[in-house]
Amino acid sequence: MGEMRFVRYDSRKHMDILHNIMMNSEQQYLFLGHNNINSVQEFGEWVDRQLRGYYYNFYLIEMDEKIVGYVCGCNYNSINRNCSLTTYICDEWQGSGIGALATMKYIDEFFRYHPIRRIYCEAYEYNEASLNTIRSAGLTEYGRNPEYRYFQDKYYDLILFSMSRDEYMEKYADPFWSAERKNER
């Protein structure tokens, strides 16, 4: 596996790539509850709205100069200092470990450069790849919303995960960073 890096979304360069990722009907059931976007123009307008008010630090994940997914914060709350996290890895890269690495890198960036107290993440019960990614990245399951999602004639739970700044510092932060930021917790 080559070097992974985060790339800021640029609609002039990445619109088609992001459209193909998010509008892939074979993958949408993994992360979208519904979709009422019918054109590329509507998609572009929707992404712009999401970037202004919902997504927080939206990055495309690049591996060997190829976009392999995206990672972003959402529902950022500056008063309570928490944020939700979403990671999506394209089908051909799922199961490679890149999702867990990208999630861990994003969490590290969040806790290093933002006054976030806690990060949340969620996945549908049938999405084993996401559940494995979230667990591999070190988040802990703290609850479920039972029968949250109807999919293929069955209801599935939404499984909820989180990690606090203190948990991150204790388990993952390097000793120099921990000492440097000890008083900021």
Residue 45, pLDDT score: 81
Residue whose C-alpha is closest to residue 119's, from 92, 90, 81: 81
Q: Is 100 helix (H, G, I), strand (E, B) or coil?
A: helix
Reported pTM: 0.78
Residue numbers of the domain that contains 177: 4-184
Q: How many domains does one find in the chain? A: 1
pLDDT band at 175 (very low <50, low <70, confident <90, very high): low
pLDDT, tens digit (0-9, with 9 covering 90-100), for 32-65: 555 566 677 777 787 777 777 777 888 989 988 8
The pLDDT value recorded for residue 42 is: 79
CATH label of the domain that carries residue 164: 3.40.630.30
Which of 42-51, 73-82, 126-135, 157-166 bottoms out in mean pLDDT, i.e. has the lowest? Answer: 42-51
* pLDDT (0 to 100) of residue 185: 46
Q: In what order do the strands lie in the sheet with 66-77?
A: 4-8, 55-63, 66-77, 82-89, 118-124, 154-164, 140-151
Q: Using one digit for the tens of pLDDT, what is the confidence trace for 108-128? A: 988 988 889 999 999 999 888
